[in-house]
Amino acid sequence: MDVSSACVVAGGGPAGMMLGFLLARAGVSVTVLEKHADFFRDFRGDTVHPSTLEILHELGVVDEFLRLPHSKVRTLTGQIGATTLRLADFSHLPVHCKFLVLMPQWDFLNFLAQRARAYPSFSLEMEAEVSGLLFEGDSVAGVRVRAPQGERQLRADLVIAADGRDSHVRAAAGLQSSDFGAPMDVLWMRLSRQPGDPEQLFGRIDFGRIFVMLDRGDYWQCGLVIQKGGLEEIRGRGLEALRSDIVELNPFLRDRVPELRDWDDIKLLTVQVNRLREWYRAGLLCIGDAAHAMSPIGGVGINLAIQDAVAAANILIPELRRGSTIPVAALRRVQQRRDLPTRITQRAQLIIQNNVIKRVLGRRGRLTPPLVVRALGAIPLLQRIPARLLGLGFRREHVTL
């Protein structure tokens, strides 16, 4: 059976849910399709940056959001070799929330879904996977949907691909991307947090290894950065060797590494950095990771995706309200608006990947921080620079409709 919606959003991640919320708030009929039965997937991006918190403030929901369980990060601290340094201080940012929030992504997505459901023009379908696109000539005219009830067609004035870095919708649309490569992958794991543990410890770089730790209240979400494709070598060395590597970097975790009972407790994130050459074609627009897969460096992926969603809403809501074919020029304007900040952010990530991470992973022995990093840790004024780059990014978006 054919049904219709002004806009169909494929993917219920941060970009898709935020755009669905904004469109419904503006009275636009929107259907968000999420292929999973719920939002519960561990080791996804869980950092909500001040730029996103400011958008929630503009929407009038930030106070409700902050009632959910979370932890605040006002400064970022790292350890290079034996030296502990403060790397970023968010307390001077020109926004209402001068901190990062660490919160499970499923809580963030459930919050957005709850707020969106207050609007009659919003529909969220779980266990509904886009299996293909509908075309009228060269224009995308809707999607084929696979769900437990069977398959159906859903026609739309506009299809939004927000289905992540492995976007099936992007592939079905024939859009081409440029891949910039990455020298590393990340092994994510949980280790319990105990009283007396360091506070706001962002990460440790030493002995040719990089270990990131995010405070999640009663546990640490930990990421061990490894060389690209190096998982099989690590597995070959055995789990006990991996535990020893972690303890060498963070001796206070010695009594907790036995919590890593088997390899099922460790999840691989295959790092990609790529970007579509064109984010759109007639009837379709890609946003978030579907348009530009980001490195996990800085945890900025969620927040760039949210910025994409806000920019898309600001530009496309007037067109969608008219209830007619969406001009390709409007889709192009979304890419033009978001392309430069995406390029700048990816360029910065690639510089760090290729000039810092790649070199660290290729070395052994104790590291010492370079002079520029020591200066950053010693001069509080300098710590505002990375705080602004991480917390606000380039070209912030504001809710205008």
Which CATH number fits the domain that encloses residue 374? 3.50.50.60
Kindly give, in sequence order, each residue whose CB lies less than 8 Å from that of residue 287, ignoring residues fewer than 6 positions away: 15, 19, 160, 161, 162, 279, 305, 308, 309, 312, 334, 338
Same domain for 110 and 11: yes
Residue type, 115: R
- Number of structural domains found in the chain: 2
Same domain for 255 and 161: no
Same domain for 139 and 216: no
Same domain for 198 and 141: no
Angle CA 218–222–228, to nearest 5: 165
Same domain for 127 and 72: yes
Give pLDDT tens digits for 67-111. Answer: 999 989 999 888 888 888 888 999 999 999 999 998 888 999 999
pTM of the model: 0.93
Give pLDDT tens digits for 178-227. Answer: 999 999 999 999 999 988 887 766 678 887 888 988 888 788 889 999 99
Same domain for 195 and 307: no
| Helices of type H across 238-300 | 239-249
CA 306 to CA 84: how far, in whole Å?
A: 32
CA 393 to CA 302: how far, in whole Å?
A: 12
CA 32 to CA 128: how far, in whole Å?
A: 9
Same domain for 306 and 160: yes
Confirm if 48 and 303 have CB atoms less than 8 A apart. Answer: yes
Same domain for 156 and 49: yes
Same domain for 173 and 67: yes
Confirm if 48 and 305 have CB atoms less than 8 A apart. Answer: no
Q: What is the overall mean pLDDT for the chain?
A: 91
- Find the domain containing 244 and state its range: 184-227+229-269
- Does the pLDDT of residue 233 top 90, yes or no? yes
Same domain for 318 and 247: no
Same domain for 315 and 166: yes
Looking at 238, 269, 300, the residue that finishes a domain is: 269
Give pLDDT tens digits for 41-58. Answer: 665 667 899 999 999 999
- 396 within some domain: no
CA 97 to chain centre: 19
CA 28 to CA 42: how far, in whole Å?
A: 32
Tokens 């009038």, residue located: 60
By three-state DSSP, how is residue 335 classified?
helix
Same domain for 319 and 300: yes
In 3D space, the residue among 349, 343, 290, 287 whose CA is nearest the CA of residue 315 turns out to be 287
